[in-house]
Amino acid sequence: MTTETQQSTDGGGVATSGETLTVTDNRTGRTYEIPIQDGTIRATELRKIKVDDDDFGLMTYDPAYMATASCRSAITYIDGDRGILEYRGYPIEQLAENSTYLEVAYLLIHGHLPSRQELDEWDHMITIHTFVHENVKEFMQGFRYDAHPMGMLLASVGALSTFYPEASAIKDPEVRYTQVIRLLAKMPTLAAFAYRHNRGMPYVYPDNDLSYPANFLSMIYKVAELKYNADPRLERALDVLFILHADHEQNCSTSAVRSVGSSQVDPYSAIAAGVAALYGPLHGGANEQVLRMLRRIEHKDNVPDFVKGVKAGNERLMGFGHRVYKNYDPRAKIIQRACYDVFEVTGTNPLLDLALELEKIALEDEYFIERKLYPNVDFYSGIIYEALGMPVEMFPVLFAIGRTAGWIAQWLEMIDDQEQKISRPRQIYTGPRGQQYVPISER
Ligand code: SDX
């Protein structure tokens, strides 16, 4: 049997000796040495494996990217087996305890914690950009009275690209920075306007005297009072929720932002794609579905029958399971604790007891244990949002506000990554070939 060893030549990096995969193609008897780097092999290395010169070469086939790294990133680290989440190396528990959302946004986007002067400048720039063009109110009015606020947010974020056409100059660092500030500043305003439209209430303009979370609560809840002052415990709980939702490496919506952004479109359009992906019930829309599920279960006595239905495949236990976490989502633990802080102000929410009972039963059940299904970030967040008085339709919108910092950080990293280019996967073609057109009169 002849063996031909193909040594890596392009882009495969220089594997340290022994860090290679030896592959034998039994169709030809040829052997290939493929470098292993960072626990991966470059898929393009497989293109060398051919049966003849006309052969395109091997590819990988990985529906839903179960085992495919799409990029190198220094932003967020997750260890799914140990339930570890770090933003730029800082444990999420420390950031939730000590930081603010705007400081975490700075960390994610700049890669380091800000000095006092840097944070004050960052906070000031975001605060003075919270207003949106008056035309935004007019097209918001065009939505049905009961339009889902996530659909309105999706449309409004994309529409911002028409108000700031200069944003398409994505190679200009100063232009990029201005859009970063605008996105962080205006996302809560757009979200609040969508809520107020959905509730048939007048829009509340941003109050630049208030903190980021307090300003959002003011734009949501202010009615006739001259100034809306949120309870500081609720303001803090919302800030922690924004921190916990800020980034999560290459999740569905971030991958959408990176893929759409790889065409070099403006950041508003790229992040609108992220909002669209997050809207889905398997992703950011899960928190809304958790509340609907808990309301449907209604009482602890109904939990065993509900769990039986899940195990029979009738439906999923929303808020449970994760592609990466095969242990408890660290964010869920923090949110569960934050529930009690919020309930000090709002009074308890009976759905929490129901959720705790559901979690207890599920975590003792073989079906969930063998599939390593644990509560994820969405399981308890909806309970807090409901305690804050938010309607379920707003839950994915609140997720989007927090995730905006991560989407921005990932978009910026993608633009500066010299290894990246326009995202364009290949396919396995399964359709017919050589069809002959038949005039409709003969069909
Ligand atoms: C988020 O990726 C991220 O980082 C996302 C996120 C972020 O911060 O960006 O963390 C936010 O989206 C959290 C996830 C929110 N979604 C939900 O809570 C919806 C319910 N969860 C599932 O739909 C599911 O767990 C996913 C979508 C989260 C993960 O799905 P996977 O990894 O593709 O797993 P799978 O669908 O292949 O399921 C594996 C098995 C299957 O059973 P079998 O076919 O092997 O018998 O587990 C079962 C599934 O049926 N399963 C569930 C389940 N989740 C998976 N069974 C019941 N209830 C569930 N929730």
Ligand 1 centre to CA of 364 (Å) is 18
Ligand 1 centre to CA of 346 (Å) is 31
Residue 17 has pLDDT above 70, yes or no: no
Residues linked to residue 33 through DSSP beta bridges, in sequence order: 22
CA distance 20 to 36: 5
| Together in a domain, 47 and 122 | no
CATH (domain of 102): 1.10.580.10
Residue 13 has pLDDT above 60, yes or no: no
**Shortest-distance atom of ligand 1 to CA 323:** 32
Residue 352 included in any domain: yes
**Average pLDDT of the chain?**
93
Final residue of a domain: which of 12, 39, 60?
60
| Together in a domain, 50 and 159 | no
CA distance 221 to 204: 9
Min mean pLDDT across 53-57, 349-353, 422-426 is at 349-353
CA distance 407 to 159: 17
| Together in a domain, 266 and 132 | yes
Residue 223 included in any domain: yes
The number of distinct structural domains making up the chain is 2
What number of CA atoms fall less than 13 Å from residue 426's CA on the CB side? 10
Average pLDDT estimate for 342-349: 88
By residue range, what is the domain housing residue 36? Answer: 2-60
| Together in a domain, 39 and 176 | no
Residue 173 included in any domain: yes
Residues linked to residue 87 through DSSP beta bridges, in sequence order: 76, 90
pLDDT tens digits, 360-410? 998 999 999 999 999 999 999 998 998 888 999 999 999 999 999 999 999
Residues with CB under 6 A from ligand 1: 248, 251, 282-283, 286, 310, 316-324, 371, 373, 376-378
Pick from 344, 331, 334, 338: nearest CA to 406: 331
Tokens of 195: 């809520």
Residue 424 included in any domain: no
Residue 442 included in any domain: no
| Together in a domain, 204 and 275 | yes
Strands (E), 42-174: 76-79, 84-87, 90-91
| Together in a domain, 40 and 96 | no
Q: What confidence score (pLDDT) does residue 16 get?
A: 56
Pick from 417, 237, 403: nearest CA to 335: 237
Average pLDDT estimate for 212-220: 98
Q: What confidence score (pLDDT) does residue 350 get?
A: 85
How far, rounded to the nearest angstrom, does the alpha carbon of residue 97 sit from its chain's CA centroid?
Answer: 22
| Together in a domain, 47 and 193 | no
**Shortest-distance atom of ligand 1 to CA 371:** 47
How far, rounded to the nearest angstrom, does the alpha carbon of residue 58 sit from its chain's CA centroid?
Answer: 32
Ligand 1 centre to CA of 355 (Å) is 18
- 146 burial via Cβ count (<10 Å: 0-12, 13-18, 19+): exposed
By the 8 A CB rule, do 386 and 349 touch? yes
Minimal-distance CA residue to ligand 1 atom 55? 321
| Together in a domain, 47 and 96 | no
Residue 65 included in any domain: no
By the 8 A CB rule, do 325 and 78 touch? yes
Residue 430 included in any domain: no
Concatenating the DSSP letter of every residue in 15-71 gives PPTT-EEEEEETTTTEEEEEE-BTTB--GGGGGG--SSTT--------GGGTT----
| Together in a domain, 45 and 153 | no
Q: How confident is the model at residue 293 (pLDDT cuts 50, 70, 90)?
A: very high
Residue 429 included in any domain: no
SS3 of residue 87 by DSSP: strand
Q: What confidence score (pLDDT) does residue 348 get?
A: 84
Min mean pLDDT across 5-19, 174-188, 406-420 is at 5-19
Residue 8 has pLDDT above 70, yes or no: no
Does the pTM of the predicted model rise above 0.75?
yes
| Together in a domain, 250 and 397 | yes
| Together in a domain, 8 and 101 | no
| Together in a domain, 7 and 139 | no
